[in-house]
Amino acid sequence: MSDTETEKQAADLVFEYELDAPPEKVWRAISVPGFRDKWLPAGDLADADPVFSAPGEEIRYAIRDSEPPFLESVVTFQVRPGADGGAILRVVHGLTDKRLVPRTVRAANNNGPWMMLAA
């Protein structure tokens, strides 16, 4: 894993829940628009269609804040079987807005670090 991936994971919000419902039922609740709209309104989504979907396992949605500065993010829902027939729901919320990506600024005159020359 690269340093960039480690920094990104550190910036993400990760929540994990053990649910009494079977994984199939949890999957329907997060993937079927009619069920999803009851707890995640379409108005909060940047696009009603998922960004990525691995049926029964993982689905990602693009989210846009409703208030300035209108930041964009991606929320990933992962479902896996839990103990006793339940499900484990993992929610990963990561900011993806390009305005938050740090930029490397280089001097136009090439003033880099000083280097000593050997005599």
Q: Is residue 107 part of a domain?
A: no
Q: What is the pLDDT of residue 111?
A: 62
Q: Is residue 117 part of a domain?
A: no
Q: Is residue 86 part of a domain?
A: yes
Q: Is residue 109 part of a domain?
A: no
Structural domain range at position 84: 3-99
Which stretches in the chain have pLDDT values below 70? Answer: 1-10, 99-119
Contacts of 102 (CB under 8 A, 6+ apart): none
- Based on the structure, what is the number of domains in the chain? 1
Q: What is the pLDDT of residue 1?
A: 46
Q: What is the pLDDT of residue 110?
A: 61
Q: What is the pLDDT of residue 106?
A: 60
Q: Give me the CATH number covering residue 52.
A: 3.30.530.20
Q: Is residue 118 part of a domain?
A: no
Q: What is the pLDDT of residue 96?
A: 77
The pLDDT tens digits for 105-117 are 565 666 666 666 6
